[in-house]
Amino acid sequence: MTITITTEPGGPASPAAPEPKRNARGPLRALIMRLHFYAGVFVGPFLIIAALSGALYALTPAMEEGIYDRELHVPVSRTSVPLAEQIRAAQQIIGAKEPSAVRPAPNPGDTTRIMFADPALGESESRAIFINPANAEVRGDLTVYGTSGVLPFRTWIDDLHRTLHLGTAGRYYSELAASWLWVIALAGLALWLTKPRRKNTAATALATRTAQARAGRFGRAGIAKIHGTGGVVLVLGFLFLSATGLTWSQLAGDNIANLRTSLDWTTPKLPTALSPAAAAPAAGGEHDHSHAGTGAGTDPATYDHVLAAARTEPVIDAGKVEIKPPAKEGKAWTVTEIDRSWPTQADAAAVDPATMTVSGKLVFNDFNVAAKLTRWGIDAHMGVLFGLANQIVLAVIALGLAGSVIGGYLMWWKRRPTRGTSWAAGRPPARRFLRTAPWPLTAAVAVLALAVGIAVPLLGISLVAFLAFDTVLGIVKNRRQRAGTGAH
């Protein structure tokens, strides 16, 4: 039975209804929640693709060891033939062509890579002939990519991760994902930290258990708990992937490079220019290598001499090195350490071909902190800094990111209306910021958004698109509400 008490006009005034309490979460939390929601919904597909392809990429080094076992490995031998003989064996396969680089076998049981430039290949790709250093037997002929010499299987996965095999235009997908990942991660962390917590009483505990029992483990509350806790645990990994991923991006990457240059955070370069006297052809003598490195007729034995000269200096002591002839006259040969595991070995030496002496050095320990962090960040992102452990951690973070995005979609779906509405999916959080925030806070948020949008252009462009979409959505919703009110 319902009892209704009314008051006649002129009668005693009824008690005033209590004013509604102001939302304790505040306008800023409402803005963060709405931003987290929209970014997650619209950027989520790009994050899932980047995460799953990135997890696969992280595990490819171990997979390649098995896929390309013949090219990479040979029976261990205590003896080896000179590099010159190995280069000649490779030239018999590819023709009388000068190598663009040579990577001697780093350990017993490994092969030597003789690399050649090929105009038919893509950017940063080379043709590599794999040679058994024990007897100069040709073990394979593959296309390798980049400074790290990635093999074809990993190159395919890498291109999927970076561009979806769509070329330069496809790079914008991964940049969009990296641009928003840090925003979504920090917004989620802020929501988790500012979430209102009920007092842990017997009544609230019983109510929580009852609600969970009704909804099941994978009800919206259960998924929200897994989503939030998992995101907080992995938030540092998400921020790392976003920051390092942006360094490779097209638009934001240029801004990052300009910032590093202005702050003198760039990686130092090996000095390779020779003095005019050193670059001039020598008159003869036992170190007369004036014909070496000119791009035609280089004696393959020069590679042995250059490596021996570089190793006389204590700066070059790694097993993994790359020997490169000069690109033009007046430049030195270079021997560079390419071991990116820990501890990082990235020293380099320039060798004067006329005297076979070291004319310049680059020591990794002398790099500034920013340059070292950049090197370590890139290597860790690629899964090579700490070997298999690095690769497993990357895969866990990437799969956690994909799972977090999927959990967010499940929460959105479970929030959908079930009747009495035309909405087909979950509603976004309510708008509160512009209606309740003080103007200084609004101005500060606008300035911050503008600055971030300029620094990370795809983030700024997509943010404007989100705002436009949300504005149109709000206008349509208000018109429907007014039309519905007018009909009554």
The pLDDT assigned to 20 comes to 45
The pLDDT assigned to 284 comes to 39
Is residue 287 a part of any domain in this protein? yes
Beta strands in 228-373 (DSSP E): 321-324, 333-337, 348-352, 357-362
Q: How far is CA 112 from CA 89, 129, 315, 341, 347, in A?
A: 11, 8, 22, 19, 20
Q: Are residues 398 and 258 in the same domain?
A: yes
Q: Are residues 404 and 461 in the same domain?
A: yes
Q: Are residues 99 and 42 in the same domain?
A: no
What's the pTM?
0.82
Is residue 12 a part of any domain in this protein? no
Is residue 224 a part of any domain in this protein? yes
Q: Are residues 47 and 170 in the same domain?
A: yes
Is residue 203 a part of any domain in this protein? no
Read off the pLDDT band of 487 (50, 70, 90). low
The pLDDT assigned to 13 comes to 44
Q: Are residues 172 and 256 in the same domain?
A: yes
Whole-number Å distance between alpha carbons of 91 and 99: 8
Q: Which residue, 331, 366, 401, sits at the end of a domain?
A: 366
HSE (CB half, 13 Å, CA atoms) of 460? 14
The pLDDT assigned to 134 comes to 96
Mean predicted lDDT score pLDDT of the chain: 84
Burial class (CB in 10 A: 0-12, 13-18, 19+), 47: buried
Better-predicted residue by pLDDT, 48 or 259: 48
What is the number of domains present in the chain? 3
CATH number at residue 94: 3.10.450
3-state percent helix, strand, coil for the chain, nearest multiple of 5: 55, 10, 35
Q: Are residues 245 and 291 in the same domain?
A: no
Whole-number Å distance between alpha carbons of 76 and 443: 68
Q: Are residues 220 and 301 in the same domain?
A: no
Q: Are residues 319 and 248 in the same domain?
A: no
Whole-number Å distance between alpha carbons of 119 and 121: 5
Is residue 308 a part of any domain in this protein? yes
Instruction: State the average pLDDT over residues 386-409.
Output: 95
Per-residue pLDDT at 77 exceeds 50: yes
Note whether 122 and 162 are within 8 A (CB): no
Q: How far is CA 418 from CA 412, 421, 473, in A?
A: 13, 8, 20
Note whether 161 and 150 are within 8 A (CB): no
The pLDDT assigned to 351 comes to 96
Helices (H) and strands (E) in the chain, counts: 15, 8
Is residue 131 a part of any domain in this protein? yes
The pLDDT assigned to 280 comes to 52
Q: Are residues 343 and 431 in the same domain?
A: no
Q: Are residues 258 and 169 in the same domain?
A: yes
Domain with 86, as residue range(s), is 69-150
Q: Are residues 256 and 404 in the same domain?
A: yes
The per-residue pLDDT for range 167-185, each reduced to its tens digit, is: 988 999 999 999 999 999 9
Instruction: State the average pLDDT over residues 355-384.
Output: 93
The pLDDT assigned to 344 comes to 92
Per-residue pLDDT at 214 exceeds 90: no
For the chain, what percent of residues have pLDDT higher than 70? 81
Is residue 488 a part of any domain in this protein? no
Is residue 7 a part of any domain in this protein? no
Q: Are residues 231 and 360 in the same domain?
A: no
